[in-house]
Amino acid sequence: MFKSIRWRFIVIYFLLVLLAMMIVGFYITDQLEKIQLESITQSMRSHVFSILASSSLLQNEDWASNKEAIEELISRSVQIGYDENLYIVLNNDAKTIIGSSIQSVVGLSAFETRRINNLLVLESMRGELVESIPLDAEDGSESRLKHMAYPVKNRSGQIEGIIYLTYRLDTVYETMDNASRMLSRATLLALGVTIFIGFFLARSITGPIKDLTNKAKEMSKGDFEQVVDVKSNDELGQLAMMFNFLTKELKRNISQVYQEKSKMETTFNYMADGVITFDLKGNVIHANPVAIKILEIKDPKNIDGDALLAEIDYQLSFMFLKENNYTSTVMVNINDYIYNISYAPFRNELEVIGGVIFVIQDITEQQKLEDMRKEFVANVSHELKTPITTIKSYTETLLDGAIDDPETRNHFLEVINNESDRMSRLVKDLLRLSRMEYNQAEWNKVVLQPTKVIDETLSKLKMQFVEKRQHLVYGPCNIKEQVLFDKDGLEQVLQNIISNAIKYTPEEGQIRVNCQSDDEYVTISIQDNGIGIGEEHLERVFERFYRIDKGRSRDFGGTGLGLAIVKHIVEAHDSRISVVSNPEEGTCFEVKIPLYKRGDWHA
């Protein structure tokens, strides 16, 4: 019976469906269990951290003296799930339970109750969060539990105690059992339908297959006039139509070859990349318009291949083309543009190498971005290396004995503290700049009068003006127009620009702050008569870590990110910032903010 293709088809179909249902069932149940357990784990961890955050008692270094307060906190204030139980275990010899959602275990040792996994308690004393799901319930019930122990450290780094949670997994495994039963019933139903349908399907296939086999034998003898009767629109019918279509396609084969050649030429001509084809002697077979433009070929019909190769790069030698499967990529500079040239041999119908195809891709912009990325990494590394080197050298000096000298020790520690603050500011600015670049910054846009923000900012910076005996010229700023802006963001913009003006303006210099409005914008300008900025630097002053005089800029304590952050804040509020400066004459920054009009979006 099983020698017949019909029955073999049914058996194979049956086994495939059975195997597929088993794999799908196992995968679904396994993933369902993982998802539910992961959800429970996240919930338990969330409860642990919420318990720690709910009161300062558990952050106290002396739990033993606060047993009653901790117990009252757990019993009255801490909310946990219906399937969860909470235990607060004191780190003493007995591992006493000083608080729990189950009042009967309060005061007992963790080793005296079966509700707590003793091994988990001991493992958590190593200082890490541990969790497990024992195979058998340990509290005498039939339910399996998930256990989690989280050690709580005091300010001295010592483990003060443990927050211990258990979660009953009855609902998880009930869900798994229900899913397994549903999948089993679906499998049985699918197998029954498979046998029924497979029988009729196999019978409908064997007849057309015999006919196709006979026609194929005739075609193998060279008779391409065979026609197969098309009895259906399924795969067998499509196969029959393909048999009938085969003869016509063979007759039109030569025509298609010419059409494909035309398509390839059209593709080459309209590609964004340059394409040049050489034979093994170095003669140019084909060059598309982009390649002709890139290489500035004056006469496309008469191209000297050897001279062209020498002009592009001496690495592109056809000696290597004698090797099979030889391909390579080189980067060249042509007329101040950077190109990536990929080349590989092409073969004829006998698999013999007939020449090589060059694809020339303009990567100038990509290379600029890559150079900017490398420059950024180098700048970050340099900015971090300087304070780290300072901290390390001062620390080594202290360790070598300078710590015994109070004056030297205090000076060194102050330097270390300042360098640590500098690194902290750098990392904070980098994180904020990154969030703004990826549009992850949250802005609280409100309607405000910019003059009030200017007043508050100048008030905060008053001491800096006084220390350098600088003259502040403020006004007139009596405009009443309003703008839609994040108040903290606008204040940071003003602080960064005015602080830079204070830093780079000499003592007794002058800083002028002014504002005005027209029908569309409020314009705020900050002008100083400080050291100024050269024209060649103006286009890059808003780049990250760009400094005109790196040594002097670092002496002022900046991170090199202030103006980059300012630009991102301004642009995030549909505003504009510009700068005008001349060396030794001063700098003027101008911020233009759109006026708020009724009906504008209000954050």
Tens of pLDDT, residues 407-466: 777 877 887 887 787 677 667 766 666 666 667 677 788 999 888 888 888 888 888 888
- Whether the per-residue pLDDT at 552 is higher than 50: the answer is no
| Average predicted confidence (pLDDT) for the chain | 77
Query: What pLDDT is attached to residue 399?
Result: 79
Tens of pLDDT, residues 168-181: 888 888 888 888 88
- Whether the per-residue pLDDT at 498 is higher than 80: the answer is yes
* Spatial separation of the C-alpha atoms in residues 116 and 99, rounded to whole Å: 13
* Spatial separation of the C-alpha atoms in residues 547 and 530, rounded to whole Å: 16
* Spatial separation of the C-alpha atoms in residues 577 and 575, rounded to whole Å: 7
Residue 222 DSSP SS3:
coil
* Spatial separation of the C-alpha atoms in residues 64 and 153, rounded to whole Å: 14
Tens of pLDDT, residues 534-551: 877 777 788 766 666 554
**Residue (of 152, 164, 29, 173) closest to 84 by Cα position:** 164
Percent of the chain scoring above 70 in pLDDT: 77
Please give the distance of CA 194 from its chain centroid, rounded to a whole number. 46
Per-residue confidence band for 198, with pLDDT thresholds at 50, 70 and 90: confident
Give the HSE-up count for residue 220: Cα atoms under 13 Å, Cβ half-sphere: 6
Per-residue confidence band for 588, with pLDDT thresholds at 50, 70 and 90: very high
The amino acid at residue 374 is K
Tens of pLDDT, residues 340-367: 777 788 777 677 777 788 888 777 777 7
Contact 287, 275 (CB under 8 A): yes
Structure tokens at 174: 């009930």
Which of the pair, 338 or 56, is modelled with greater confidence?
338
Contact 116, 140 (CB under 8 A): no
Query: What pLDDT is attached to residue 380?
Result: 65
- The answer to whether the predicted template modeling score (pTM) of the entire model surpasses 0.85 is no
The amino acid at residue 257 is V
Query: What pLDDT is attached to residue 591?
Result: 92
Domains of the chain, first to last: 9-174 (3.30.450.20), 256-361 (3.30.450.20), 367-437 (1.10.287.130), 445-594 (3.30.565.10)
Query: What pLDDT is attached to residue 318?
Result: 47
Query: What pLDDT is attached to residue 319?
Result: 45
**Residue (of 125, 130, 211, 135) closest to 160 by Cα position:** 125
Structure tokens at 159: 């483990």
Structure tokens at 49: 């951290």
Rounded to 5°, angle at Cα 137 from 134 and 139: 125
Per-residue confidence band for 321, with pLDDT thresholds at 50, 70 and 90: very low
Per-residue confidence band for 589, with pLDDT thresholds at 50, 70 and 90: very high
**Residue (of 100, 58, 46) closest to 76 by Cα position:** 100
Q: Got the DSSP string for 418-484?
A: HHHHHHHHHHHHHHHHHHHHTT-----EEEE-HHHHHHHHHHHTHHHHHHTTPEEEE--------EE
The DSSP H or E segment spanning 362 is strand 353-362
Pairs from 214-221 (Cβ < 8 Å, separation ≥ 24):
215/243, 216/243, 219/243, 219/246
Give the max Cα distance, the chain: 108
Contact 51, 81 (CB under 8 A): no
Which of the pair, 524 or 104, is modelled with greater confidence?
524
Query: What pLDDT is attached to residue 590?
Result: 92
- Look at 62-66, 381-385, 510-514 and tell me which has the smallest mean pLDDT: 381-385
Q: Which of 175-189, 279-293, 391-405, 431-445 has the highest mean pLDDT?
A: 175-189
For residue 181, give Cα distances in angstroms to 145, 193, 219, 228, 418. 23, 19, 54, 49, 66
Query: What pLDDT is attached to residue 324?
Result: 47
Which of the pair, 494 or 220, is modelled with greater confidence?
494
Per-residue confidence band for 594, with pLDDT thresholds at 50, 70 and 90: very high
The DSSP H or E segment spanning 325 is none
Tens of pLDDT, residues 377-389: 666 666 666 678 7
* Spatial separation of the C-alpha atoms in residues 182 and 30, rounded to whole Å: 15
Contact 333, 342 (CB under 8 A): no
For residue 158, give Cα distances in angstroms to 96, 131, 161, 242. 17, 21, 9, 79
* Spatial separation of the C-alpha atoms in residues 586 and 359, rounded to whole Å: 51
The amino acid at residue 431 is L
Per-residue confidence band for 592, with pLDDT thresholds at 50, 70 and 90: very high
* Spatial separation of the C-alpha atoms in residues 51 and 80, rounded to whole Å: 9
Query: What pLDDT is attached to residue 8?
Result: 73
Per-residue confidence band for 320, with pLDDT thresholds at 50, 70 and 90: very low
Query: Helices marked H in 252-327 — which ranges?
Result: 253-269, 289-294, 305-312
Rounded to 5°, angle at Cα 211 from 209 and 214: 110
